[in-house]
Amino acid sequence: MKTTDYHFPVPWQMAQWAQVQQLDSRYGEQINQLYDETFPMEVRQYLSAWIESHDWEMVSTSNSLATVRFHDLLSQLDDQYSHFAVENNLLAQYNIRRIKRNLQEHFQEDPLNLALNICNCLKEEKNILDLVIQTQDNMGFTPNNEVFEKQKELDNKVKSLTSKFQKAQQDIKSLEDQQDEHDFKKKTLQNRVEQEGNMITQSPMLKKEIHEAEMVIRGLFINLNITRKVMVHELAEILNLAEEIQHTLVEEEIPEWKHRQQIACIGGPPNASLDQLQTWFTAVAEGLQQVRQQLKKLQELEQKCTYENDPITQYKNTLEEQALSLFKNLIVNSLVVERQPCMRIYPQRPLVLKPGVQFTVKIRLLVKLQEFNYHFKVKALFGKNVFDGSTVKGHFSKFNILGTNNKVMNMEESNGSLVAEFRHMQLKKTRVENSHESPLITSEELHYMTFETYLSQPDLQVKLETMSLPFVVFSPLIKLSTAWASVMWYNMLTREPKNLLFFLNPPQVTWRQLSEVLSWQFSSVTKQGLNDEQLRMLGDKLLGQEAADNPEGLISWATFSRVSIILDVWVFKPTPVFLSTGY
């Protein structure tokens, strides 16, 4: 794997503000100029999903609607204030109060002006994004185009699936009407024959009427049988398409998203496509639930009327098993770690934790069904000993989780996501009695957390589980820079989610790969990447002056870990001298 294999999530599938945040730094000034003290960028950041959920061009034409939206916006800020109060983030609370006062001062009497301001900001953002996309197209960024086409194809399949679900719903209703007509006319004829039996045998006219009625009923039965066959075939096709889409989501899209999350954790481009995945997962889940209901309806129709070689009788069990299996598999794979374990005091360095210091982690269920709200209780667990069942002898440090490790998932107001956010967890080291020492030093010991919950429905009992990326626990004896170096090396070089013995034989990295990641790190602090002079200086330290000219030159983990403290000063905490001269 090379870090350059990473592709940005394509613009059409992300919220607009997420696209803006991924723009190159040279466009930052244009974005900054759109916002001022009256409508600051913080509001755009805090309320991005809410802002983009409304048509501000329409709002700016109605004073009454603008007034409603103005007070809605203030209410949203109050919610943000409460959120930061829970996190005990005093600075953010102060900023919210200041922003709210300014908004009231400038727009309380003129909400239309605020609506127009927001409308113009959104339009200008869109213009800048369109310019960037046009520039990329002119430069022929084939990898992004390939990703775009792949994602667009998947989106079209999901839309087609949704359309088929809706058509099947209509066809079931039509089948029900057909069967009602057939059953009514058949029963009416039977009642007439029972009541007029003797008269029919004696009257040629009545015999003819009965025969004609029987032919009509026979025709209705033939059409009913054909419609049942078509209905069963239609549901089978729908489930096959759902299975194809599900395979793509579970086997391709989720792994790709998790890899992008790894890259984002070590300073790479932000990973902002989870909302689109949620849309796809939810669409498939809703459809599968509809199919299961439709199959129950077919069973009801079968109970009212069945016959030899009835298509419903022949195929319903197979279809029910397939629909249930698909729904179960989709749910099982829809639990993800949206935000990896991270201490609030080091927001730019996730996956490094210190005992006794609070950290946060956020879990999301990608299937957003209303009936799921408050039905999932997530439990956080510290990972098992890596040497359990391993041929390698030794033991890792073990920790207990302090604080609340059980959370009920509920819908977020901003985007309706079903989430559980653990905000007040800590780790405490426990004593381990073991005669075998670990073959790894403490900064190379990787740990993980698992998060589990259960879905319990009358016909479905299933356990859902996901796990964090491996993290390093450091203490006063181990510097943060050393732990962070381990996190960087791991996420640069492997996609394996549970390779806790990675540092028993860590692979080498090329200077090309490492320099890109170091530049990401520098950019996360200074908002600009490392220039050529700075990269050459770092390359000299790692490879020597001659080797640094070779971008494919290999660097070992031993070399990198030895200079990680120096890199921590130069790259992660850049001094004015380094920024101005490169040294």
| Mean pLDDT value of segment 256-266 | 89
Whether residues 280 and 395 share a domain: the answer is: no
Residue pair 277/271 in contact (Cβ under 8 Å)? The answer is no
Whether residues 310 and 346 share a domain: the answer is: no
Whether residues 170 and 211 share a domain: the answer is: yes
Of the residues 120, 140, 160, which one is the last residue of a structural domain? Answer: 140
Task: Indicate whether 577 pLDDT > 60.
Answer: no
3-class DSSP string for 77-95? HHHHHHHHHHCCCHHHHHH
Whether residues 348 and 229 share a domain: the answer is: no
Residue 30 burial by CB count (10 A; 0-12/13-18/19+): exposed, middle or buried? middle
Residue pair 322/239 in contact (Cβ under 8 Å)? The answer is yes
Q: Whole-prediction pTM value?
A: 0.72
Residue reference for tokens 């609370």: 93
72 vs 193, more confident:
72
| Mean pLDDT value of segment 191-216 | 69
Whether residues 118 and 249 share a domain: the answer is: no
Report how far Cα 183 is from the mean position of its chain's Cα atoms. 49
Calpha distance 574→583 (Å, rounded) = 10
Calpha distance 485→437 (Å, rounded) = 23
Task: Indicate whether 378 pLDDT > 90.
Answer: yes
Whether residues 243 and 291 share a domain: the answer is: yes
Whether residues 442 and 553 share a domain: the answer is: no
Of the residues 95, 116, 140, which one is the last residue of a structural domain? Answer: 140
Whether residues 380 and 267 share a domain: the answer is: no
**497 part of a folded domain:** no
Whether residues 396 and 423 share a domain: the answer is: yes
**77 part of a folded domain:** yes
**57 part of a folded domain:** yes
**pLDDT confidence band for 200 (50 / 70 / 90):** low
500 vs 570, more confident:
500
pLDDT in tens, 138-171: 433 444 556 667 878 888 899 899 888 888 888 8
* CATH code assigned at 25: 1.10.532.10
Calpha distance 487→561 (Å, rounded) = 11
Residue pair 210/294 in contact (Cβ under 8 Å)? The answer is no
Give the tokens for residue 180: 């009602």
Give the end-to-end CA distance of the chain in Å, rounded to a whole number. 31
**487 part of a folded domain:** no
* CATH code assigned at 461: 2.60.40.630
Assign residue 558 a region: left if phi > 0, alpha if psi is -120 to 50, beta otherwise? alpha
What pLDDT is recorded for position 363?
A: 93
Of the residues 115, 140, 165, which one is the last residue of a structural domain? Answer: 140
What pLDDT is recorded for position 386?
A: 56
**pLDDT confidence band for 179 (50 / 70 / 90):** confident
Number of domains in the chain: 4
**177 part of a folded domain:** yes
pLDDT in tens, 527-562: 667 777 888 888 877 777 665 567 788 888 988 887
**169 part of a folded domain:** yes
Helices (H) and strands (E) in the chain, counts: 20, 13
Q: Print the domain residue range for 312.
A: 151-332
3-class DSSP string for 154-195? HHHHHHHHHHHHHHHHHHHHHHHHHHHHHHHHHHHHHHHHHH
Three-class secondary structure of residue 413 per DSSP: coil
The fraction of the chain above a pLDDT of 70, given in percent, is 79
Calpha distance 388→391 (Å, rounded) = 9
Report how far Cα 495 is from the mean position of its chain's Cα atoms. 18
Calpha distance 392→503 (Å, rounded) = 13
Task: Indicate whether 442 pLDDT > 60.
Answer: yes
**Mean predicted lDDT score pLDDT of the chain:** 80
* CATH code assigned at 581: 1.10.238.10
**481 part of a folded domain:** no
| Mean pLDDT value of segment 41-67 | 89
**482 part of a folded domain:** no
Whether residues 322 and 341 share a domain: the answer is: no
Whether residues 546 and 518 share a domain: the answer is: yes
Whether residues 162 and 282 share a domain: the answer is: yes
